[in-house]
Amino acid sequence: MSLDHLNLYLFNILNAPEQASPFMVNYAIFAAHDLIYILMLIFAVLWLRGSGQVKKQILKAFIFTCAALSVSEIASALLHTPRPFVMDVGRTLIEHSPTGSFPSNHMTIFSSIAFAYYFSEQRQVGKFLLILAWLVAWARIYVGVHFPIDMIGAFFLALAVNVSGLALWNKYKDLLMGWVMAVYQKIFNPLIQKGLIK
């Protein structure tokens, strides 16, 4: 079986069937579309209220995610692989523009954040986020906007960026954190002084 045939075969297994229950459809749509906004909100609150160590870990995740997303966008523009609904394959449960399918930006974001935590002292958080990443991967396939290979590609892209950048992060993390905190404290000093944020 060729890679294309295997990809399509797995997609047909994971994509929403005609007889899918309303609960499964809504659950998948939530995981595929809304979960990323909840995650971003959580990190925003953690940044504003968390300790210096919490902020440093969030900064690491942010930098690695931006790097992985940059590579993902370049790969998507160069390859421009069609999404399932463009090929008229499977069921599509959410609207999406017909941009390149490979690799998945959602999976790149979730996996990059997960690996940023996994390759740190907070490995257990990273393990949980990796499970969350694969939940999103399943959901994006289930709702019909991605193929399985898009998720696998994004996962290994995020892994490669985290592994290759880890030495640089460990070398410059304190310097980067100092710059970011200097700007942050200058902008938000009134709120910090009032104890509303840290």
Per-residue pLDDT tens over the stretch 44-81: 999 999 999 999 999 999 999 999 999 999 999 898 89
Q: How confident is the model at residue 82 (pLDDT cuts 50, 70, 90)?
A: very high
Region 134-147: mean pLDDT is 97
Q: How would residue 4 be classed by pLDDT, with cut points 50, 70 and 90? A: confident
Question: Which ranges in the chain belong to alpha helices (H)?
Answer: 3-14, 22-29, 35-49, 52-79, 105-118, 123-142, 148-187, 189-193
Say what the pTM is. Answer: 0.93
